[in-house]
């Protein structure tokens, strides 16, 4: 059963679940990222081999973030490992986000 966050805004009850991710994104970018990592080890060397490795590793880090954050988020919430953005001027982040999205939908 997927984890669903239930939000209340006034009398309204909203449910937000994790978004589905496209497997084509994962299976398409992993070989490209691995090629960028392995390419500086092959002859002839590219002009800037570190740039190739950096691009490959950053692509793998992007994919790891894209897939792990929605998966591990509910686990951290259940363990009460959550925080608040200190740069926000309002107190409850979720209620403000819902209020902003409701105002945009209704206008």
More confident residue, 60 or 106: 60
- Pairing between strand 5-9 and 12-16? antiparallel
Tens digits of per-residue pLDDT, 20-69?
A: 778 888 899 999 999 999 999 999 999 999 999 999 999 999 998 888 88
CB 17 within 8 A of CB 3: yes
Query: For the chain, what are the domain ranges?
Result: 19-81
Query: Cα–Cα distances in Å, from 97 out to 26, 30, 101?
Result: 29, 33, 6
Residue 94 and residue 82: Cα distance in Å, rounded? 12
Q: Which long-range contacts (CB under 8 A, 24 or more apart) does 79-88 make?
A: none
Pick from 1-5, 8-12, 45-49, 92-96 the range whose average pLDDT is largest.
Answer: 45-49
């Amino acid at each position: 059963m997927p984890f669903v966050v239930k939000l209340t805004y006034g009398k309204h009850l909203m449910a937000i679940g994790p978004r589905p991710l496209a497997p084509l994104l994962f299976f398409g970018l992993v070989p490209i990222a691995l090629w960028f990592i392995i390419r500086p080890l092959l002859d002839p060397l590219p002009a800037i081999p570190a740039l190739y490795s950096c691009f490959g590793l950053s692509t793998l880090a992007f994919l790891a973030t894209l897939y792990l954050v929605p998966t591990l988020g509910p686990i951290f919430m259940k363990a009460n490992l959550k925080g608040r953005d200190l740069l926000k001027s309002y107190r409850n982040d979720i209620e403000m986000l819902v209020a902003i999205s409701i105002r945009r939908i209704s206008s």
